[in-house]
Structure 1
Amino acid sequence: MDYDTARGSTCSSCTVTDDFSNYWIPSLFYRAQNGTFTPVSQIGGATIYYLQRRANDSEKLFAFPPGFRMLAGNPMLRNYTDVPEQQAISYSCLDYSGGGGPETGGFPQRNCANGYRLQVFFPSCWDGENLDSPDHKSHMAYPDGVTGGTCPPTHPIRFISIFYEVIYETNKFSDQWYDSTAPFVLSNGDPTGYGLHGDFVNGWNVDVLQSAIDDCNSESGVIEECPHFKYFDTVKVQNCYIPPRIDEPTEGLLQKLPGCNPVQEGPENATPQTDCGAPTEIGSPKSYGTDVSSRGWSYLDCVMDDLDNRTFPIRGTNSTMTNEMCIDYCVSKGAIYAGTQYGEECYCGTNAPPADRMGFAKCGMPCAGNSTQVCGDAAKLSVYTKNVSPIAGSGVQSVPAMSSSSATIATTNSSPPSSFITSSSSSTVTPTSTSLSFAVFGLTDTVTVSKALSTTTTINRSSTTTSVVGTASDSGATITSLPSAIPSEILTGWVSKGCWVDPVNPRALETWGYWGEKITTSGCINWCDSKGFIYAGTEYAGQCFCSNDFAAPEE
């Protein structure tokens, strides 16, 4: 990793758009009595502090120059010697009830009610010449107070200070201690904690950081108060992901630590290890796509979706979804992009995904029809594209049956599945008798329904709703039996209008909302109310619709 590579990043898990720096500390593992290892989860990721520590009010603080990097701490240490380098490394035993105790230089040797907080303070005094050094430390030095004070004459240039905090959820293993020694080990093979260290590789826009150092000195410490910074969208920050490039297990129950890092107990310093059978080469980024070359298609990327502005307009679902099935379906719709989402959903389109939704997210939800494949994730699409020059003999093997809620692309010569249901005027497909029932809520004293909905057999995942409805009359919509309990936590002014049949073509409530496994009635109502709608409807266990009219399709 160099400066230009860092600056060329497409996303960051840090919020400031001008900061593509790399911040790193070792992972933490629980070491079981039988010698196996389990990763310990972080809580909230890393917190990085930029601190304006000066020897006096007139001292100039500088931004890190392009190409700068440094290391704090020593991964080989297995004992404590009270030198400045070790004074800058510490652990806090978190107990929010007040029983955490003092900070320590190694692992706290007691159960900590709210986990371990690992803390690394970096040196801030630079020699003014070297962007790096063979040990990644000699070009830097600590001031005489470690976290503050005066720089030594050999390192006279003062950088802004950086400090890392990372909380590990060690309390999840509180009932798995087997003696009085903390059963944890850092990923560098350190069971003492004294070998904690941190890496920093500069990726800042240097001018922006320097302006912030000079001008942003609010006592609140709130980064958003600095006018020099712009910020990434929160969703993009939370989903920024780099695919692994080393073929080695790092998750789940492990027989050994990743890499060549056997546990070295100390108290003597650890020694570097080689020839342990671990991978020694960095390969290509891991792909989470399916090989669909036989169909003349290829995997593009994991793409973020926007529930208010879908990446692709055509949607279908199938409880046995695979990526091949979705591609075959999209071919039948004349699309050149196909995307699977949420395990069993398929989306199709003719326009490429927006660039700002690509290049950073990870999809990891198994396909409903093949658990070895990945079919997107919540609000993420596993996207495939049609090759410019299809492979000879490739093409649709058979068109899968799917239910769909939207289609804005005209059909091609390939026939769509017979059970496809569409609400688009651009498609000539006729809806079948398959439809969905949904619960409708509206504001008090709204207009009552006057149009009839289609005669259908409903498919509903709720056991509290009658699954078969009768023939609609001309005077009103078909209504099923109500759920046994109407939710009481809905917004004031909203009342239940019953459980109705959605004919799909056209929709009884015309505006798509959102869907997902965490949907609730109150959540759907809140969403529709925030958009100015007076009707809200939940459907199929995880879908939300909104409208200002509640009318059946024209006869």
Structure 2
Amino acid sequence: MFPKSLTTAAALAALASTASAQVDYTKLDYHGHYFRQEWINQPLNVQRLDPILNPGTLSPHVHSFIGAPVISANTTYADTQKASCSQVYVKPDKSVYWMPSLYFQNPKNQSFIRVPEHHRVLYYFNRASDPKTGAQDFNLIEEFPPNFRMIAGDSMLRSAAATSQMQGAVEWFCHGPDVKSSGFPAGFTSCANGLAGSIHFPYCWNGQDFNASAPMAHMSYPAGQYPDSGACPSTHPHVLPHIFIEFWFDVSSFNGMYGAGDTPWVLSNGDPTGYSFHADFLNGWTPGVLQNAMKTCNIGESGEPLSNCFDVYTDAERNACKQPAIVDEKVDGWLPALPGCNPIQKGPGKATPVTNCNINPTINGKAAPSAASASSLTLPSSWASAGCYSDAVSPRSLSGETLAWWGEKMTATGCANHCASKGFAISGVEFGQQCFCANSLDQSSKVDDSKCAMPCVGAAGQTCGGDGLLSVYTKGGANPLSAVASAVPISAPAALSPVANPISKGSAAPALPIVSSPIALPDSKSSAAPAAPVAASPVADAGSEGSAADYASYAEPTTTPAASPVAESEPAVESEPASTPAEDTSYAAPEETPAYARRHVGGGAIVRM
């Protein structure tokens, strides 16, 4: 069923010296009223959907989906029952599971790339206990009803949760060296055996349906201090299977790109802390199977085959189970910003929810419902949107004042008001965070408005251009490609140095902007790593923090990946290869070494039996 090195007690025992010196794995009984599945595949797809919290439309942030290939904006239990396959081994489980994707943010130029996933480990535990005595009673377990949905974690957290139990539901591990933390671990420059995020779902149910206005109300963690053991409280008396998932990431390609003092990992919801890691579950179990199995299945991690308890898929059947993404949006390759409307929010207070996130991507080729419109803009009097235009770099297409309105969270409204206050008649916003002013638009051409799809970092409902593209606004609705003779600046625009007051290291002000395209956005996943920087952008004090060398524009590679030059002192990162059936079916952990070692539940912490 599984590779020998992934399942046997002997393999787990071999890890004891590195996982935890206080646990003697050779003396543990690996039987128990639970079962586990482990598989090495990339997600079914990665896209900005969430059929639980955002049914019928786009999600604010990107998720990685695993399970049955029935993912849509409106996936239901009935849809799962029509699935003919799944990524999991257990045939009766046609559920869908998802989590926020993990991105790496280059500390030098602040660009993003999705971290490739390696494998995941899915556990189902029977934690039923008598609510009066606390004694285990496995017969009290119930199964998920049809149409059951739940979430675990809080996407708004940016610091430790209010209780140790809630915070204990989320853990991160860097394996090799072994570093554990509730948020992203730090203090290392590589994770030789992988970076893993794990999450415990609550298992106590009040018998009511999911309510989007109070998404956690129908579920509860058990009474006591642990998220994964204990009797259910009287408010939520129904004991459901306890789901625990480990998501493992391959971070080896980023070795050398960050220092021990960096934490370059960012969740797709704009979280650089890791505290907001969360996951969703949409039930797809065949009725009658899970409740019986949770009472009788006692294989635990003993190495006995999963087929002792369930009908199972072969590896070939699982690997053939595919589903293309239906949201037309770039989520892979080097990106100047996170997909969707997700400015980085560090906390420590809770993040601010983003709204009106359906800007331009389509679902199945059709515009997503409730797409944001220009109605969210408050432009200066008589000003209007002129559409999307290409931008030249030397000189800029809007060269009256470049990188204007510095130090604020950029919005199209703010940029237009700033330009108007300076006497300019044209404003343009680009890359979600750059503002330009002028009286004419030079070396430019009109492009399809849908190409300006990047949300403003200060207002998710407003569009701030794209990669080398300007969202342009003009006084009186004038054609920006014609000089606007009536506009005379009130005062001379600032010097063209884009940063008048360089921000020193440790300042609370926002990070330096990317002066132009931070990294070329290749059309395919298999494109080369970013090429060497082109001529440096004029940033003050080239030898200091935030110098031109660190924030240079990147050119589209013209050579093969092996020949692509790399910026000095910055190793190349291979773009994630396009997933192919051959790759998915042949990727297996080596038997002779414990790479991506399956460290018994949470990377070394033994479960409470």
Q: What is the TM-score normalised by the length of structure 1?
A: 0.49
| Structure with more strand by fraction | 1
Higher relative contact order (CA 8 A, sep 6+): 2
Length-normalised TM-score, structure 2:
0.45
Task: Mark the structure with the bigger radius of gyration.
Answer: 1
